Amino acid sequence: MRVVMFGYQTWGHRTLRALLDSEHDVVMVVTHPRSEHAYEKIWSDSVADLAEEHGVPVLIRNRPDDEELFSALEEAAPDIIVANNWRTWIPPRIFNLPRHGTLNVHDSLLPAYAGFSPLIWALINGEREVGVTAHLMDEELDAGDIVVQRAVPVGPKDTATDLFHKTVDLIAPVTTGALDLIASGRTDFTQQDRSRASFFHKRSAEDIRIDWHWPAEDLERLVRAQSAPYPSAFTYHKGKRLEILAAVVSEGRYGGTPGRVFYREGNGVVIVAGADARTGRNHGLAITRIRTQDGEEMPATDYFRSMGGYLTSRP
């Protein structure tokens, strides 16, 4: 089939690589301009550079809503559009233009975790599986019929970075597998159960601010979800920002006020956590490694020389 690819960052790069290695003909690529947004500078392999290396025409757009782009698509005459990590709305006159419509490749197990940063949100929420879904695009975001879906397990110590590497390797087989089914004439794909749908927004600084009223189990997953190269989860100590690089749920149960710097346990320093911490039934978050406001990394036991005082959400 003749394919136009809409994509951005490493997800789009892997999709384009899979298409270039397939029997299909990539006739044009549309991608976003480079961005300084913290999350868009991560996994930033260039779709434009890869396309140009293979002599594929490239258009750079923030939004695909202009007449020049539409005319270029009509001239390219694709049989299908394939999209992955396209960051803005694609209008119906574009996604319906090819005879097979548009195949969107999304890094979640739809209908759950539509929208943005699905791996991070899924890890924070304690999901046991993540994955990649190829679905046909319709007017509702990430809601069209599922063509191919593949899952991988979330391990007890997996970080968001680990899950990225697990799922990015699924992009090629999911994309080419879906295209093979569509090219074969199949149209009886799986409708999404919209009662199970969830939609998530982009991550921002507010989303990585630690709230010590969360249970320690949730905070431990937040720290893993904000693993390097993502911005680290942070709190404040004595008015200065403190990034939490590594932590575990404490073995013991600790009562008191959320945020209290309480006790040395193993290689960590336990912080009281949980909205009902006063009951003494909660585990705490045992911080093992931190980064100071000055950028110095060290074991938490070196930083917290004495117990007492509080970690807070704001200075």
Q: Residue 219: pLDDT above 90? A: yes
Q: What is the mean pLDDT of residues 117-146?
A: 97
| pLDDT at res. 40 | 81
Q: Residue 36: pLDDT above 90? A: no
**Contacts of 75 by beta carbon, 8 Å cutoff, 6+ apart:** none
Structural tokens at position 315: 């200075």
Q: What is the mean pLDDT of residues 291-312?
A: 97
Q: Residue 143: pLDDT above 90? A: yes
Q: What is the mean pLDDT of residues 242-250?
A: 98
Q: Residue 54: pLDDT above 90? A: yes
> Do the beta carbons of residue 179 and residue 24 sit within 8 Å?
yes
d(CA 259, CA 230): 24
| pLDDT at res. 41 | 83
Query: Please, how many CA atoms are within 13 Å of residue 277, restricted to the half-sphere of its CB?
Result: 23
d(CA 162, CA 126): 15
> Do the beta carbons of residue 14 and residue 22 sit within 8 Å?
no
d(CA 102, CA 63): 16
DSSP-derived pairing of the beta strands 283-292 and 297-299: antiparallel
CB burial of residue 239 (10 Å; 0-12, 13-18, 19+): exposed
> Do the beta carbons of residue 98 and residue 75 sit within 8 Å?
no
Confidence band (pLDDT; 50, 70, 90) for 7? very high
Query: Please, how many CA atoms are within 13 Å of residue 58, restricted to the half-sphere of its CB?
Result: 17
d(CA 60, CA 34): 9
Structural tokens at position 15: 């999709």
DSSP H or E segment with residue 125:
none
Q: Residue 152: pLDDT above 90? A: yes
d(CA 1, CA 25): 6
